Homo-oligomer: A and B are copies of this chain.
Amino acid sequence: MESKKKTILPLSPVPLYTQIKEILRTRILDGTYKAHEQMPSESELTRSFDVSRITVRQALGHLQKEGLIFKIHGKGTYVSQPKAFQNLGKLQGFGEAMASMGYETFSQVVSFKVIPADKIVAKKLQLTENDMVSEIRRVRYLNRAPISLDVSYLPRTIGERLIKEDLAHRDIFLILENDYGYSLGQAELQIEAMLADESLGRLIQLEEGAPVLRIERLTFTTENQPLDFEYLYYRGDAFQYRLRVERGRI
């Protein structure tokens, strides 16, 4: 009855529910709790971790939001079928996403300009037309083959700072977060199909008229300030954009 299962540290700076969440996540991933099996009930977890039910429910709630478990009212909590890409659907930079799948990537900066914002860019970044913005064009390589052209628009000063960084090997997202202290929240994407023109084809080694995936991405801070507006042109044959969406409650 008194056997504490793991090292829960009530005085740790990391909240109890986070610690419990991580322990449960580990147990799910290592097979202690298997797919479609019932997890211990909330009251069992309350006893075994020696915390309150609120704390257990907070941990389970986060795991549910991440898709690792699901609950059925009156029955119990169950482990979800594992998915090939468990954590997609979240906002990731290209390098981040590829690195997590074990691919080797790097980028080549093909141009950097400080230019007046056109109508579209100004609107997206909530600036006035002709305000100066930084435009960074990069070609992304996956396993040494060119795969996309990224055109990023950022507020002038941020871009001028970014261009001095190691953009060949580091994601803009990670630099903005880790080095500059921005907290990235949501992004809006628009996706469409188009044909490569001559200049795009030259950059990512496609023939004119080859299919291209064109993604518009506007990234916001957690305070909902637009920070980064990008056009991503992906080779249609070489890449598949994967994500997960949830059905909203009606």
Q: Tell me the A residues contacting B by CB distance below 8 Å.
A: 36, 65, 67, 70, 72, 78, 80-81, 83-85, 87, 89-92, 173, 184-195, 209, 211-214, 220, 222-225, 234, 236-237, 239-248
Contact = CB atoms under 8 A, between A and B. Distances in A.
Given A222-B70, A247-B90, A242 B190 contact: yes
Contact of A241 (B173, B190, B247): B190
A224 B81 contact: yes
B242 A193 contact: no
Nearest to A194: B211
What are the 3 tightest A-B residue pairs by CB atom distance, in nearest-first order? A193-B236, A90-B248, A91-B247
A193 B80 CA distance: 31
Contacts of A244: 186-189
A82 B186 CA distance: 12
B248 A245 contact: no
13 contacts: A70-B223, A91-B246, A91-B248, A92-B247, A185-B246, A188-B243, A188-B244, A190-B242, A193-B211, A193-B214, A194-B211, A194-B236, A194-B237
Contact of A192 (B87, B213, B214, B225): B213
B213 A212 contact: no
A84 B243 CA distance: 21
A220 to B, nearest CB: 8
Nearest to A91: B247
B186 A247 contact: yes
Contacts of A212: 193, 211
A136 B44 CA distance: 46
